[in-house]
Amino acid sequence: MQAVIDVAGFLGDWPFRRIPRSSREHLHTLAGECGLERVVVSSFENLFWENAADAALATAESTARDKLLVHFPMANAAFPSVVDNLMRLHDEHPFAGVRLLSNYHGYSLDGACVDDLLAWTQAERLTVQVFRRIVDERLHYILKVPHVEEDELVRLAERHPEQRFIYSGLGYGEIVSVAEATGCPKHVWFDTSRCRGPERWPQKLVEKVPPDRIVFGSLWPLQVIRSTLQELRFAPLDETTRAMILHDNAAALIGR
């Protein structure tokens, strides 16, 4: 079985509804069943607590000895002292990447706070993962969170050509659109977590986007790992392409 690295996992309780079989223990069970070698994670607490640094530290401590999990702390770029907090966390628990969910934290990717944060991540040679969405906007209860606009993703890539980015939570058409608008640069990768068609989308995607720019993501536990994974495993792709998408590209990005 082809080893897999999932770049888009989460830990903890989703606040809007109960999600069954979403414990860390169940993720380890799925890892054995699905051939997951590593899963990149953050905690939902890191997303929803006022001070994301407190939650990121707790997640870093709880995942430090878990060989399956790779911690990418979420950073609220608009929060005071965000870079200082990340520097302290990186000194205590080194990490390979940072996640941005600007729509939840209420800032624009065009903001100076993002440029300030990326000056540090680029100097540290960290990957920055930017989510367009993590769940259908209609499934939030009370909290109304719009998706990140495609134009913001395009401008971010253009402003920071030396920063490695993973763009996550884009559908097939959105990936193709952003890739075409940016010229599919060598510093941007796209995860497959929200690809839900068209028919034979894996073959069509690698015709539009070079396979060395594509990584596997599941958005577990908000989505089912097997659905996208099985489509990629059984698609008529050559084995080198399949290995790049499911494992090798992500391995280079997370330093494993």
pLDDT of res. 256: 52
Identify the pLDDT of residue 136: 86
Question: Measured between alpha carbons, how far is 226 from 232 in angstroms, rounded to an integer?
Answer: 10
What is the rounded end-to-end Cα distance, in angstroms, of the chain? Answer: 19
Closest CA to 229 of 185, 180, 195: 195
Position 138 scores a pLDDT of 80
Q: What is the pLDDT of residues 105-157, one digit of tens each?
A: 999 999 999 999 999 999 999 999 999 999 988 878 888 899 999 999 999 99
| Closest-CA residue to 132 (of 95, 89, 174) | 174
pLDDT digits (tens, 9 = 90+) for 158-168: 999 999 999 99
d(CA 168, CA 215): 9
Q: What is the pLDDT of residue 17?
A: 87
21-55 pLDDT, tens digit per residue, is 999 999 999 999 999 999 999 999 999 988 889 99
- The residue ranges of every structural domain in the chain are 4-254
CATH topology of domain 4-254: TIM Barrel (3.20.20)
Burial zone of 48 (CB within 10 Å; 0-12 exposed, 13-18 middle, 19+ buried) = middle
CA distance 97 to 7: 11
Sequence-distant contacts of 23-26: CB under 8 A, at least 24 apart: 24/66, 24/69
